[in-house]
A = this chain, B = another copy of it.
Amino acid sequence: MASIKDVAAEAGVSVATVSRVLNDHPSVSADARTRVLAAVESLGYRPNAVARSLRTDQTHTLGLVISDVLNPYFTELARSVEEEARALGYSVIIGNADERPDLQDHHVRNLLDRRIDGLLVSPTDGGSPLMLDAVRAGTPMVFVDRWIPGVDVPVVRADGRAAVRDLVAHLYGLGHRRVAIIAGPAATTTGRERVEVFREALQEHGLDLPEAYTGQGDFQAESGRRVTEGFLDLAEPPEVVFAADNLMALGALDAVRARGLRVPDDIALAAFDDIRWFVHTDPPVTAIAQPTGELGRAAVRALVDRIEGRPGESVTLPARLVVRRSCGESPSPVQRSTT
């Protein structure tokens, strides 16, 4: 592959001049410029990004460590992140942690070794020493969706409080009283927070969330299935199950279907995270929708701000309830969506 030296030789100038043309530095003659460009063209020269990065100490690359690629919420996030980054002149390297702290660390280490300019993370756990070190060392970082409390890093996330309150009101209005949750890992902020917010909202209606009705999941489908099985095995199963993410809701559907039961007649279901498929499931699933694309874009903007020396602020956007049929038919015509 042709290097800058080959171009210089072909154009009959020095490598410095070639570099100046390529980075459109002002002081280069029109004549030299055209000769260099012709040489670039004829050799099919492309600058070596590795060499450039070594010299300039910039890779124009962002690292994105997401919790689970198989989760449509995160793939949509990844997509919007890449789009916005591209618009700002950056590329993105994605690492999939698969909800495993060790894999998360593997990817963070790998990305740091590659000297990415900044890191976007939705942490799977309470904060590995590795990540804390990176923050301390001054690596530009932004948390998205989930975060690590007590670390001075901007957080871009959705606030589900109002939507969860709407959901509980909806459930209450349909007559449901025995309500259960499939929680995410307690090591994650979203894992804890969604349970707390849900419990508070229930209390406002005088309902509580007993131990037996809080199942511990890990945000992946299999755990949703397992926890739901447990609920169905209880002497008095819940009337509704709220899954803290879409994959655990999928697992819950699996469990219900495996027993030959029906949603919502035998047991109702709601989920955090709305995805396109929920419109077409049997029945369509009531869910809390996050402004996923906007979150991804805001996170990139915050990170690039940090990288380029501007402040880079936290952003919180509201989530909203999308009512469908999985919790039962509304007696009154409340807001109903089919999209």
Contacts and interface: CB of A to CB of B under 8 A. Distances in A.
A118 B97 CA distance: 23
Nearest to A103: B86
A279 interface: yes
Interface stretch (A107-115, A205-213, A234-242, A308-316): A107-115
A330 interface: no
Interface in A67-126: 69-70, 72, 75-76, 78-79, 82, 86, 91, 93-94, 96, 106, 109-110, 112-115
B112 A46 contact: yes
What band does the interface of chain A fall in when counting residues whose beta carbon is under 8 Å from B?
35 or more
A276 B257 contact: no
A60 B195 CA distance: 42
A47 interface: yes
A75 B282 CA distance: 24
Interface in A1-37: 1
A254 interface: yes
B277 A277 contact: yes
B113 A48 contact: yes
The DSSP consensus for interface residues of chain A is helix
A109, A137, A282 — most chain B CB neighbours (10 Å): A282
Given A70-B76, A75-B69, A48 B115 contact: yes
A298 interface: no
B137 A47 contact: no
A46 B108 CA distance: 13
Nearest to A112: B46
A247 B325 CA distance: 23
Contacts of A1: 137
A283 interface: yes
A334 interface: no
B72 A276 contact: no
The 10 A-B pairs with the shortest beta carbon distances in the complex, nearest first, are A282-B282, A277-B277, A49-B113, A280-B281, A253-B280, A50-B53, A49-B114, A50-B54, A69-B79, A93-B93
Given A51-B54, A254-B280, 13 more contacts: A46-B112, A47-B113, A49-B113, A49-B115, A50-B59, A69-B78, A70-B72, A70-B75, A70-B76, A91-B93, A94-B94, A280-B282, A281-B281
